[in-house]
Amino acid sequence: IGEWKAAWKDKTATGKHDFYEYGFDDSFTLDVPGDFNTQRPELTWLEGSVWYRKAFDYDRTVASKNGRRLFVHFGGANYQADVFLNGEKLGSHEGGFTPFQFELTDKVRDGENRLMVHVNNERRRDGIPAQGFDWFNYGGLTRDVDLVETPATYIQDYAIQLAPGSLNQVEGWVKLAGTAPRQPVRVRIAELDVDVRVQAGADGVAKLQFQAPFALWSPTNPRLYRVAVSTPQDAVEEDIGFRSIAVRGDEILLNGEPIFLRGVNLHEEIDSRRAHSQEDAQRLLEQARQLGANFIRLAHYPYSEHLVRLADRMGLLLWQEIPVYQGIDFADADMRGKMEAMLAEMIGRDRNRAAVALWGIANETAPSPERNAALAALAQYSRQLDATRLVSAAFYGPGFHGNTLAFADPLIASLDVVGVNEYFGWYTPWPVEPEQAEWKPFGKPLLITEFGAEARLGNRGASDVASAWNEEFQAEFYDKQLRMLRRIPFLRGVAPWVMSDFRSPVRLHPFQNGYNRKGLLSEHGERKLAWQVIRNYYQEIEQ
């Protein structure tokens, strides 16, 4: 559903945001998907409420004769959404980056219907993320909204992935929902002569197991197969890749072979607005490919489904994380449930994407008994939802003693891979010369999930720290970092912070001007000197 009517009133004017109080007399139009902040000048800095309204026609008579069901599916709404149909509340959703849906079947009218959504992006102490974060808080219906019609019993979900540890064996399931879920299910992959028939039980679940001679998906050969799932009433087709991702000691294995992740961090932003379309995804992933990356950390929240599907086709491995970011209140009793819901929504959407190799459960959270327990449980929950991906988190950088950089955190024990964000030479001084730094092993693969320094495009000059913010400084900073990182025997990948300069209202230095300037590219995609330093390194180590 594309264009919506929207209405907004300054909170101070009404005291509260009640649609029935002020109606849509002074409404305007907003594109969906798209953040509201960048579509109307008066909403530029809004962290508050906007009402969206959309009319649609429906032929209920024909639909109910055929037993059809109707859903409204939201790709994402930042942060809290309350959804109404013809004035009746369907439900609410919390969390700005993951999908949700409501069933309309029994409520939809014959003829014209009115869908209304109240979206609020106010920061909350009990939110995920919490109140402080280093990116722009784009609000609104930022992702696609779809009306979806299904048969009476429909294919609700499925997992079709290689069993952990196997290179040719699929162990998955298909879940049917509806009035008569006990139905035969068929799964076909024509190219491989796969034609599997199984029966769903009373719970609607049909378990799958089959072998096939897959050409395995990898960044160098992102092979996808057309998979067709069908029942007597419903049918779905999509392209799926098959690959295994595992850890052996301190190595990461892709399809059984050790891999080094030549990464980069992104924010889901393009042209200083929230990225949301297929074209936006293409531009972001193309930038990563030109850098020579085979891996992207999607910081710090789940991205649009367009981007994840495109990564599948382009052969870019992904780390996708939920916005459990600095400042989360782990003592809040509701936090656990919220984190779990977000994780389940992210994994539920992307569980069949070969590109996704790691689920990130947190970024830069400080150890405490509550945090340690909550995140250990979350790591467990992630494996329960999906045993075919690695579980990881990104930590504040290590402390040092003499020449030794020691990294310790009780959460490490619960993870497959450890991500470290280190800012030696920027936020923290270099403990020793890069050539002398010894990193103490901790028995798991290490990814440097962030390292970086700021420079403003076009600022040129001497490379000493005193004249930081210039391109030479940033380029030499990366050179020095790489001299240290190359010497870590258990390093399995790096991701510079960050691909492009991105909007962050907390960045008030005159050179920042509302942007975090750690980009290898400017916000307009122009290359800084540092871009070439990383590009050269990736060219040199490319296997």
- Binding residues for ligand ADA, rule: CB under 6 A, are 134, 300, 363-364, 421, 450, 497, 516, 518
Q: Quick one: 299 or 374, whose CB is closer to ligand ADA?
A: 299
Distance of alpha carbon 262 from alpha carbon 393, whole angstroms? 18
Q: Which residues lie below 8 Å from residue 102, measured CB to CB, with a gap of 6+?
A: 71, 72, 83, 85, 90, 91
Phi-psi region of 272 (alpha: psi -120 to 50; beta: other; left: phi over 0): left
In the bound state with ligand ADA, the residue whose beta carbon lies nearer, of 218 and 363, is: 363
Nearest approach in angstroms of CB 364 to ligand ADA is 5
Quote the least distance from Cβ 327 to ligand ADA, whole Å. 11
CB-wise, 134 or 238, nearer to ligand ADA? 134
Distance separating the N- and C-terminal Cα atoms of the chain: 44
Which is closer to ligand ADA, CB of 300 or CB of 353? 300
CA 154 – CA 61 distance, rounded (Å): 20
CB of 64 to ligand ADA, least distance (A): 49
CB distance 199 to 221 below 8 Å: no
Cβ nearer to ligand ADA, comparing 210 with 469 = 469
User: How, if at all, do strands 28-31 and 273-274 pair?
Assistant: unpaired
Separation between Cα atoms, residue 491 and residue 439, nearest integer Å: 10
- CA dihedral (216, 221, 222, 223) positive or negative: negative
Q: How far is the CB of 105 from ligand ADA (least distance, A)?
A: 42
Closest CA to 278 of 311, 300, 302: 311
Could you give the CA distance from residue 390 to residue 386 in angstroms, rounded to a whole number? Answer: 9
In 36-79 the beta strands, taken as DSSP E runs, fall at 49-58, 69-74
Nearest residue (CB) to ligand ADA, 135 versus 225: 135
**In this structure, what token pair is assigned to residue 192?**
């491989």
Q: How far apart are CA 429 and CA 493, in angstroms?
A: 23
Distances (CA, A) of 32 to 38, 137, 396: 12, 17, 37
* Least gap, CB of 134 to ligand ADA (angstroms): 3
Is 252 or 448 the residue whose CB approaches ligand ADA more closely?
448
CB of 515 to ligand ADA, least distance (A): 11
Residue among 477 and 497 whose Cβ is closer to ligand ADA: 497
Distance of closest approach, residue 518 Cβ to ligand ADA, in angstroms: 5
- Closest CB to ligand ADA among 450 and 476? 450
Is 49 or 421 the residue whose CB approaches ligand ADA more closely? 421
Alpha-carbon gap, residue 508 to 483, rounded angstroms = 31
Residues in the chain: 543
Taking alpha carbons only, the member of 364, 328, 365, 320 closest to residue 346 is: 320
Q: State in angstroms the smallest separation of the CB of 202 from ligand ADA.
A: 46
Rounded to a whole number of angstroms, the minimum distance from the CB of residue 178 to ligand ADA is 43
Strands 438-439 and 404-406: parallel
Instruction: For residue 192, give every residue at least 6 positions away whose Cβ sits within 8 Å of its Cβ, in sequence order, or none.
Output: 212, 213, 214, 225
Lookup result for tokens 């010369």: 433
CB of 422 to ligand ADA, least distance (A): 9
CA gap 294, 283 in Å, rounded: 16
Token couple for 194: 């796969």
Find the shortest distance in angstroms from Cβ 423 to ligand ADA: 7
Residues 6+ positions from 230 with CB-CB distance below 8 Å:
155, 185, 186, 188, 236
Q: Residue 495 carries which side chain, given as an amino acid letter?
A: A
Q: Which is nearer to ligand ADA, 480 or 518 (CB)?
A: 518
Q: Choose between 83 and 299: whose C-beta lies nearer to ligand ADA.
A: 299
How many CB atoms sit inside 10 A of residue 202's CB? Answer: 7
Report, in Å, the least distance between residue 303 CB and ligand ADA.
Answer: 15
